[in-house]
Amino acid sequence: MPSRNPNEILAKNLKKLRKAHGWSQEKFGAECNLHRTYIGAIERGERNVTLNTLLDIASALGVSAAELISESEPRGKASAGSAGQDRKGHKQAR
Protein backbone atom coordinates (compact mmCIF):
# COMPACT_ATOMS: atom_id res chain seq x y z
CA MET A 1 0.00 0.00 0.00
CA PRO A 2 1.52 3.37 -0.96
CA SER A 3 2.08 5.88 1.80
CA ARG A 4 0.00 9.03 1.91
CA ASN A 5 1.07 12.34 0.45
CA PRO A 6 3.48 14.07 2.90
CA ASN A 7 1.40 17.27 2.68
CA GLU A 8 -1.66 15.33 3.91
CA ILE A 9 0.32 13.83 6.80
CA LEU A 10 1.66 17.26 7.79
CA ALA A 11 -1.84 18.74 7.48
CA LYS A 12 -3.37 16.15 9.82
CA ASN A 13 -0.58 16.33 12.40
CA LEU A 14 -0.40 20.14 12.39
CA LYS A 15 -4.14 20.55 12.86
CA LYS A 16 -4.26 17.96 15.66
CA LEU A 17 -1.33 19.50 17.55
CA ARG A 18 -2.50 23.09 17.05
CA LYS A 19 -5.93 22.22 18.43
CA ALA A 20 -4.34 20.33 21.35
CA HIS A 21 -2.64 23.62 22.30
CA GLY A 22 -6.00 25.38 22.06
CA TRP A 23 -4.68 27.77 19.40
CA SER A 24 -6.65 29.28 16.55
CA GLN A 25 -4.93 29.43 13.18
CA GLU A 26 -4.38 33.13 13.81
CA LYS A 27 -2.77 32.58 17.23
CA PHE A 28 -0.62 29.75 15.92
CA GLY A 29 0.45 31.84 12.92
CA ALA A 30 1.62 34.53 15.32
CA GLU A 31 3.58 31.90 17.29
CA CYS A 32 5.60 30.94 14.19
CA ASN A 33 5.49 34.26 12.35
CA LEU A 34 3.29 32.94 9.53
CA HIS A 35 -0.01 34.32 8.22
CA ARG A 36 -3.20 32.59 9.38
CA THR A 37 -4.27 31.91 5.79
CA TYR A 38 -0.96 30.16 5.14
CA ILE A 39 -1.52 27.97 8.21
CA GLY A 40 -4.99 27.12 6.87
CA ALA A 41 -3.56 26.22 3.46
CA ILE A 42 -0.98 23.93 5.11
CA GLU A 43 -3.74 22.27 7.16
CA ARG A 44 -5.69 21.62 3.95
CA GLY A 45 -2.60 20.08 2.32
CA GLU A 46 -2.45 22.83 -0.30
CA ARG A 47 1.08 24.09 0.41
CA ASN A 48 4.56 22.64 0.11
CA VAL A 49 6.45 24.07 3.06
CA THR A 50 10.19 24.72 3.11
CA LEU A 51 12.40 22.95 5.61
CA ASN A 52 12.88 26.20 7.52
CA THR A 53 9.12 26.65 7.79
CA LEU A 54 8.70 23.03 8.89
CA LEU A 55 11.31 23.57 11.62
CA ASP A 56 9.62 26.79 12.77
CA ILE A 57 6.24 25.04 12.95
CA ALA A 58 7.73 22.09 14.82
CA SER A 59 9.43 24.39 17.31
CA ALA A 60 6.24 26.31 18.01
CA LEU A 61 4.40 23.03 18.63
CA GLY A 62 7.19 21.52 20.74
CA VAL A 63 7.75 18.52 18.47
CA SER A 64 10.43 17.44 16.01
CA ALA A 65 10.04 18.08 12.30
CA ALA A 66 10.13 14.31 11.79
CA GLU A 67 7.07 13.91 14.00
CA LEU A 68 5.13 16.40 11.90
CA ILE A 69 5.65 14.34 8.75
CA SER A 70 5.35 10.92 10.37
CA GLU A 71 2.27 8.76 9.91
CA SER A 72 2.51 7.64 13.55
CA GLU A 73 0.85 9.75 16.21
CA PRO A 74 2.85 12.86 17.20
CA ARG A 75 3.81 12.84 20.88
CA GLY A 76 3.17 16.52 21.48
CA LYS A 77 4.92 19.20 23.43
CA ALA A 78 7.25 17.04 25.53
CA SER A 79 9.06 15.41 22.61
CA ALA A 80 11.18 18.39 21.50
CA GLY A 81 12.69 18.85 24.95
CA SER A 82 13.26 15.16 25.45
CA ALA A 83 14.94 14.91 22.06
CA GLY A 84 17.49 17.52 23.16
CA GLN A 85 17.07 19.67 20.10
CA ASP A 86 16.91 23.42 19.67
CA ARG A 87 14.42 25.22 17.46
CA LYS A 88 16.37 24.42 14.29
CA GLY A 89 16.66 20.71 15.11
CA HIS A 90 20.29 20.84 16.26
CA LYS A 91 21.38 18.79 19.25
CA GLN A 92 21.79 20.79 22.43
CA ALA A 93 24.59 20.22 24.92
CA ARG A 94 23.39 18.78 28.21
Q: 70 phi and psi, to 5 degrees? A: -95, 145
- The answer to whether 62 touches 81, Cβ cutoff 8 Å, is yes
Least Cα distance to 53 among 40, 67, 38 occurs for 38
Q: Tens digits of per-residue pLDDT, 70-92?
A: 998 766 654 433 334 444 444 44
Distance CA 35, CA 27 (A): 10
Distance CA 45, CA 93 (A): 35
Comparing 10 with 83, the larger pLDDT belongs to 10
What CATH number does domain 6-72 carry, 1.10.260.40, 1.10.3720.10, 3.40.50.1240, 3.30.930.10?
A: 1.10.260.40
The per-residue pLDDT for 72 is: 81
Domain ranges of the chain: 6-72
